A and B are shown apart, each in its own frame.
Chain A
Amino acid sequence: MTARQPARVVGKAAGRLATMGPGFGYLTVFLLVPLALVLSYTVFRRGRFGGVVYEPTGENFTRLADPLYLDVVIGSVRLAAITTLLALLLGYPTAYMIARLPARWKVVALVAVVLPFWTNFLIRTYAWIVLLNSEGPVNSGLKALGLGTVDLLYTDGAIVAGLLYAYLPLMILPLYSAVERLDPQLREASANLGARPARTFWSVTLPLSLPGVLTGCVFVFVPSLGNFVIPELLGGGRRIMVGNLIRDQFLKARDWPFGSVLALAVIAVLVLLLFAQAWAARRAGRGA
């Protein structure tokens, strides 16, 4: 028995290495090292033709405070926040309804939510160019009603519509799994104790589904901040968002250190929101 023990330990380590070794090795080389590289660029000077010169500097961070860039950051946070709020307002009732459907229809409704998400993102954005065009269906409808044409394309509204269209499924899925997990007895108890449906929603359902709400918000807000295609195609390049700025620093201005600082800012927002989500999940877990 004792002689077999070390062999089993070796066997376990070998199993671990054989299964997870290749995958984590790959992720280390092609994800962690590149991320570390980008993080390190934030404290170095820009190279003349892109890349970096390894002389430490803090000026990449101070440039963030430049009103020019600060405006971009504030503007994109605003649009991403509006998108997230709209996704929540539309997504919560939808997720709530799906959770109450009979099992068969539940699957159909969920698949119908994810389907558009798995289709080509550029095609989905292109559809909105066609929809919002001055001769497009929306404006034709308005004209037929005698309301005249409105400039819909190349506005902040068009960007929000495009972002909402791109990321709404990512709001609905975590909301659905949060609402689905709720014990219906809690709602019944609340109702039996005399609470009105609205009161039950605000004091029972919503607090308990808060982790799902926050997960959904992270999944919509963060990619909205980092998107550069929608502001370009639907905003006509008039509105520059953080994503456009990062793209331009890497592909046009060739200022990689400043681009890295902007990317770090997006990662920081992501990490912060994930911590808020974990905190809410712990609280909801304790309450239930």
Chain B
Amino acid sequence: MRRHGWLRLPFWLTYLFLYAPIVMLVVMSFNRNKSPYSWGGFSLDWYGRLAGNASIRTGLLNTLIVALGSTALSTVLGTLLAVGLARHTRSRLLDALSTLPAILPDLVIAIGLLAFYSAIKLTLGLHSVLIAHTVFGMAFVAAVVRARLGGMDTSLEEASRDLGATPLTTFVKVTLPTLAPGILAGALLAFTLSLDEFVIAFFTAAPSEPTLPIVIYSMVRFGVTPEINALATLLLAVSFTVVIVAQRLTRLTEALR
């Protein structure tokens, strides 16, 4: 370690760079001053203002509907996909296809779906965002569940089959319970991803039913308002909690490599 003393500078610089802006937003959200640039004492005023903001409330409700729906769908599809990829195939093509939604730029997925919805004449709404978010949500659930499957002992499943259980019984009674922490972690990640996703929602939502990130986007475009600091702090708290819980449930950092 001593030999790499000079490496400490970029190392700490990275963490300073990653966290200074976040810490600044959190501190400012408790600032009484209306000008966001000077400290006027501790206050929860901005949180109160936030609760009273109707467009944020509607956006939040829309986002929760989309996030919960797409998480449920992603979890079922992604878990099955992970089991299939780990146990029923060695195809590298299928493997690549399952990770494609995570590799493709969000903008490409967004215009693809916009073109597709328009071609099949689907009216845009919350359902069209939900369908879109499931595309990448499923990929993340599959990646996390597969990481857990990789470290799983197959002898339990074999024992279950040898004792005469049908494949379905083995799957429900043996495979699923063992995978449960991975599935929960994947579901939590799909939920946060959907909660925070902007680009795809921007292309696939109806203007009358914006999700929370779309509401934030239109607020941010008009400049700096302290209410956003409060909203940012709450969203950061949700994401941080989810990621830390997911990390505890499974070796997330391994799965996302």
Q: Please state if A140 and B37 are interface contacts (CB–CB under 8 Å).
A: yes
| B-contact bits for A251-276, CB 8 A (1 contact / 0 none) | 10000100110010011001000100
Most central of B113, B216, B253 by chain A CB within 10 Å:
B253
Chain A to chain B contacts (Cβ below 8 Å), 16 pairs:
A15-B167, A16-B88, A19-B83, A34-B112, A89-B10, A110-B253, A120-B213, A122-B213, A123-B231, A127-B24, A127-B25, A127-B232, A173-B257, A228-B107, A246-B107, A256-B115
Q: Please state if B104 and A270 are interface contacts (CB–CB under 8 Å).
A: yes
Min CB distance A215 to B, Å, is: 9
**Cβ of B113: which chain A residues have Cβ within 8 Å of it?**
30, 34
CA distance A34 to B118 in the complex (A): 10
Most central of B24, B142, B244 by chain A CB within 10 Å:
B24
Q: Please state if A197 and B3 are interface contacts (CB–CB under 8 Å).
A: yes
Instruction: Name the residue of chain A whose CB is nearest to the CB of B10.
Output: A93
- CB of B42 within 8 A of chain A? no
| A-contact bits for B1-35, CB 8 A (1 contact / 0 none) | 10110011111011101110110110010000001
The interface of chain B, by Cβ under 8 A from chain A, is: 1, 3-4, 7-11, 13-15, 17-19, 21-22, 24-25, 28, 35-37, 76-78, 80-81, 83-85, 87-89, 94, 97-98, 100-101, 103-109, 111-116, 118-119, 131-132, 134-135, 138, 142, 167, 189, 192-193, 195-196, 198-199, 203, 213, 216-217, 220-221, 224, 228, 231-232, 235-236, 239-240, 242-244, 247, 252-253, 256-257
CA distance A94 to B167 in the complex (A): 46
Closest 6 CB pairs of A and B: A19-B84, A34-B112, A23-B81, A20-B84, A127-B21, A226-B105
Q: With A34-B112, A93-B7 in contact, is A24–B94 under 8 Å at CB?
A: yes
Instruction: Name the residue of chain A whose CB is nearest to the CB of B220.
Output: A126
Contact among B3, B4, B11, B81 for A19, CB-based, below 8 A: B81
- CB of A207 within 8 A of chain B? no
**Cβ of B138: which chain A residues have Cβ within 8 Å of it?**
23, 26-27
Q: Please state if B135 and A26 are interface contacts (CB–CB under 8 Å).
A: yes
Q: With A93-B10, A116-B18, A121-B196 in contact, is A30–B216 under 8 Å at CB?
A: no
- CB of A217 within 8 A of chain B? no
CA distance A19 to B146 in the complex (A): 13
Among A184-198, those with CB < 8 Å from B are 197
Min CB distance B224 to A, Å, is: 6
Instruction: Name the residue of chain A whose CB is nearest to the CB of B192.
Output: A118
- CB of A41 within 8 A of chain B? yes
Q: Please state if B37 and A135 are interface contacts (CB–CB under 8 Å).
A: yes
Min CB distance B256 to A, Å, is: 7
CA distance A249 to B49 in the complex (A): 37
**Cβ of B224: which chain A residues have Cβ within 8 Å of it?**
126, 129-130, 133
Q: With A19-B81, A129-B224 in contact, is A118–B109 under 8 Å at CB?
A: no
Among A153-182, those with CB < 8 Å from B are 164-165, 168-169, 172-174, 176-177
- CB of A75 within 8 A of chain B? no
